[in-house]
């Protein structure tokens, strides 16, 4: 999607990747997985929101916005025009870092 310029969908998939990782943490913690898509709320339920630095918290809030809006046809064109290749590359890099950090939360305690 990145190579073909479908940037809105790249960001949407970044949101999905972090959402699924947070839900994996909830499963790891034996907590109920509810149909919530807000990343901050999921991190709060997993008791890790307070561990995010300010930049990461802002970033996941932005990603949550893309989930909510990517589902509505009338906003897809507007959102697609508002995001460019450079910004999307940054989303990809940040998403990878967040997922790596989150997966560390699922390592068994020795």
* Residues 27-78 pLDDT 10s: 999 999 989 999 999 999 999 999 999 999 999 998 988 875 555 666 677 7
Q: Cβ contacts of residue 90 below 8 Å, gap of 6+? A: none
Query: Dihedral of the CA atoms 54, 60, 66, 67 (nearest 10)?
Result: -150
- Separation CA 101–CA 18 (nearest Å): 11
pTM for the predicted model, two decimal places = 0.88
Which single residue is written with the structure tokens 């509505």? 72
pLDDT at 82: 75
- Separation CA 17–CA 58 (nearest Å): 17
Cβ–Cβ contacts within 10 Å for residue 86, how many? Answer: 8
Say yes or no: domain 7-104 is CATH 3.30.1370: no
């Amino acid at each position: 999607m990145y190579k073909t310029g479908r940037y809105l969908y790249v960001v949407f998939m970044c949101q999905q990747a972090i959402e699924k990782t947070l839900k994996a943490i909830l499963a790891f913690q034996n907590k109920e997985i509810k149909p919530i898509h807000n990343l901050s709320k999921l991190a709060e339920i997993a008791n890790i929101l307070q561990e995010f630095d300010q930049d990461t918290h802002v970033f996941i809030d932005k990603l949550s916005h893309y989930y909510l809006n990517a589902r509505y046809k009338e906003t897809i064109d507007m959102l697609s025009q508002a995001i460019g290749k450079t910004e999307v590359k940054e989303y990809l890099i940040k998403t990878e870092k967040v997922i790596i950090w989150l997966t560390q939360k699922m390592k068994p305690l020795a």
